[in-house]
């Protein structure tokens, strides 16, 4: 069987395996991959279990030692998003042929329909994001195992990319262990996520946007609404904070002509359990900040300034608002630590949060808010406060060009010359590559102290990330409509063009190895 046919065979097999994210179904893909890798010669492979994972998922890897220590990493994820967008066709989401037949009957978009009729595209959940790239990587890996060259080749497949990146956070430690065990030199990581086209050329990326999720809890002073001037409405303060930041492009980061999406508030709830004629005691919200340059520290200070400004605005209308203090989650914990029994209490409520998360009963943001409220209730702190903390997941902004050597630049040129690829800098869609080359100057302690769920519920190896500094390229097949019912991958791109580029990358790293 020639390679392009092998890739399509692997891809159809993988699409047929329902591996919806954040479920035990992902394990079926892990077993499939492990079986394939274990049948290859010259391959060291394994499944590394993710500690405390609610679904028992694993990172799957295969390693082909080269004649030299310089190593290429193929990275992919084997989870897929849900099938709700398929509607009545959801039963065919993992059957490309049957799904294509249905789409040809029901699809109304003429441009999409024309492409589907062309025979140049394969449909199905995961065809584009990202089992297509995984199949191409796997076929190239399989071929390389039979004809090993100078470069080492490491294949890593991850669960949970579409949710909280539990797989990649574990893979950081796996990469470090393999490097230390075999003395490897990681020269480049290729994450074969699907690429879009611009001006007729695929756009690959050498950077990945960061993501910070600040949580804000405002505690006011609850009084009967008839005594409004004696109270402080936390909803009013939160409304000012949101109005000052929501969608404000001046808070976006800019790199050349690239810009991050502006801040977006994604969760807002008052904490009243039932209706009564009084001001609410508390309100909580969570925002999404995408970053190139901003650190969690920057986001913290930005929101603290916005909160102080919100309090000042409220004070103009309600004199009692002068009492409101703005603090960080870390400061709240510091104050609470002086209360007898707090340490034991806090470990207990953190464990309760862990159990709730394991059981799928709540989200990271909801549990972060609950922890802040539990601390306030335990200490009996009733004074008006604005508290700012962080919820998982956290994605550092990553920039390969800031850490790579001249050989990486040479590789980009070599790849660009052989195919219709152009390079963007930051990928704005958030990716696992965030954990490849984090800024060594990142204030780790500030993040950990304000990310209340840090520990058993959420963590990754900061020191390993900062030490390894692996340059990467987000480079995969041409795909369209990922996460939609018309998700599809271009057959020529995934079975011929991408594998040729992967071959070139391996040979380049081998030829330039010292």
Q: What is the pLDDT of residues 492-503, one digit of tens each?
A: 999 999 999 999
Mean pLDDT of 74-93: 98
Bridge partner residues of 390 (DSSP): 214, 451
Mean pLDDT of 281-286: 98
Residue 118 pLDDT: 98
Where residue 318 falls among pLDDT bands split at 50, 70, 90?
A: confident
Residue 92 pLDDT: 98
Where residue 33 falls among pLDDT bands split at 50, 70, 90?
A: very high
Residue 142 pLDDT: 98
Number of H helices and number of E strands within the chain?
Answer: 16, 20
Say how far apart CA 421 and CA 198 lie, in whole Å: 10
Q: Is the model's pLDDT at 458 over the cut of 80?
A: yes
Task: Record the pTM.
Answer: 0.95
Cis peptide before 393 (omega within 30 of 0): yes
Contact 184, 71 (CB under 8 A): yes
Residue 480 pLDDT: 98
Residue 439 pLDDT: 80
Whole-angstrom CA distances from 281 to 137, 223, 276, 453 are 54, 9, 12, 24
Mean pLDDT of 211-225: 97
Domains of the chain, first to last = 3-208+397-436+471-511 (3.40.630.10), 210-394 (3.30.70.360)
The tens digit of pLDDT for each residue in 88-106 reads 999 999 999 999 999 999 9
Q: Is the model's pLDDT at 430 over the cut of 80?
A: yes
Q: Residue 406: phi, psi to the nearest 5? A: -65, -25
């Amino acid at each position: 069987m020639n390679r392009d046919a092998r890739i399509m065979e692997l891809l159809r097999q993988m699409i047929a395996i329902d591996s919806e994210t954040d479920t035990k179904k992902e394990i079926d893909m892990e077993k499939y991959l492990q079986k394939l890798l274990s049948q290859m010669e010259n391959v060291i492979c394994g499944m590394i279990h993710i500690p405390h994972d609610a679904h028992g998922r694993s990172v799957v890897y295969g390693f082909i030692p080269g004649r030299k220590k310089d190593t290429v990493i193929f990275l992919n994820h084997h989870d897929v998003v849900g099938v709700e967008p398929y509607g009545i066709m959801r039963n065919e989401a993992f059957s490309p042929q049957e799904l294509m037949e249905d789409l040809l009957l029901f699809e109304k978009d003429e441009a999409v329909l024309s492409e589907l009729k062309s025979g140049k595209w394969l449909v199905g959940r995961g065809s584009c994001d990202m089992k297509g790239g995984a199949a191409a990587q796997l076929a190239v890996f399989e071929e390389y195992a039979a004809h090993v060259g100078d470069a080492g080749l490491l294949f890593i497949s991850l669960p949970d990319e579409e949710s909280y990146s539990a797989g990649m956070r574990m893979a950081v430690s796996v990469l470090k262990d393999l490097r230390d065990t075999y003395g490897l030199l990681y020269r480049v990581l290729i994450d074969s996520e699907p690429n879009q086209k611009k001006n007729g050329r695929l756009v690959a990326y050498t950077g990945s946007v960061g993501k910070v999720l600040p949580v804000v809890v405002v505690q006011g002073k609850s009084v009967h609404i008839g005594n409004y001037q004696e109270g402080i409405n936390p909803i009013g303060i939160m409304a000012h904070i949101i109005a000052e930041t929501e969608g404000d492009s001046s808070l976006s980061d800019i790199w050349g002509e690239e810009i991050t999406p502006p801040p977006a508030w994604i969760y807002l709830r008052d904490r009243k359990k039932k209706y009564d004629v009084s001001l609410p005691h508390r309100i909580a919200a969570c925002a999404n900040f995408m970053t190139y340059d901003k650190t969690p520290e920057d986001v913290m200070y930005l929101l603290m300034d916005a909160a102080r400004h919100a309090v000042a605005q409220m004070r103009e209308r309600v004199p009692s608002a002068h009492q409101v203090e703005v603090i960080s989650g870390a400061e709240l914990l510091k104050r609470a630590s002086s209360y007898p029994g707090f340490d034991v209490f806090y470990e207990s409520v953190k464990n309760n949060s862990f159990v709730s998360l394991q059981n799928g009963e709540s989200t990271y943001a909801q549990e972060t808010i609950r922890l802040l409220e539990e601390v306030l209730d335990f200490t009996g702190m009733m004074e008006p406060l604005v508290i700012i903390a962080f919820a998982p997941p956290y994605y550092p902004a990553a920039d390969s060009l800031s850490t790579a050597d001249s050989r990486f630049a040479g590789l980009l040129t070599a790849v660009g010359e052989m195919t219709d690829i152009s390079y963007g800098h930051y990928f704005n869609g958030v990716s696992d590559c965030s954990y490849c080359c984090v800024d060594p100057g990142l204030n780790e302690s500030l993040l950990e102290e304000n990310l209340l769920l840090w520990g058993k519920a959420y963590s990754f190896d900061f020191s390993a990330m900062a030490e390894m500094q692996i340059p990467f390229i987000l480079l995969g097949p041409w795909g369209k409509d990922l996460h939609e019912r018309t998700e599809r991958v271009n057959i020529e791109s995934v079975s011929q063009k991408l594998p040729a580029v992967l071959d070139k990358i391996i040979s380049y790293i081998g030829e330039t190895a010292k």
